[in-house]
Amino acid sequence: MTLKERFAALQAALSKNVGYAVEFTIRGDNEFTLSAEGDRAAALKALISKVPGVTVTSSEYDQDIDYTCCFFTK
């Protein structure tokens, strides 16, 4: 399995876990973002909190574009 396929599988598994499409972004060394359409801050934080050793640094919901981003580190 290629890295691209593994990344797509991870995104699909995360989306399946929460019940809607999420986007996973690698922002840098040990810095990541989960994002989704709608006001999903609580749900994304809950998903991230299930992973040991991960810290949510912030989350933002932008009402103008109806999109949530949750930033976290490992």
What is the pLDDT, as a whole number, of residue 70?
A: 94
Domain boundaries, the chain: 3-73
Identify which of 20, 50, 18, 62 has the alpha carbon closest to the alpha carbon of residue 72.
50
The overall pTM is greater than 0.85 = no
What is the pLDDT, as a whole number, of residue 9?
A: 94
**Tens digit of each residue's pLDDT (9 = 90 or more) over 16-49:** 988 999 999 999 999 999 999 999 999 888 888 8
What is the pLDDT, as a whole number, of residue 62?
A: 96
Please report, as a single letter, which amino acid is at residue 25.
T
- Out of 3.30.200, 1.10.357, 3.30.43, 1.10.10, select the CATH number for domain 3-73: 3.30.200
**25 within 8 A of 33, measured Cβ to Cβ:** yes
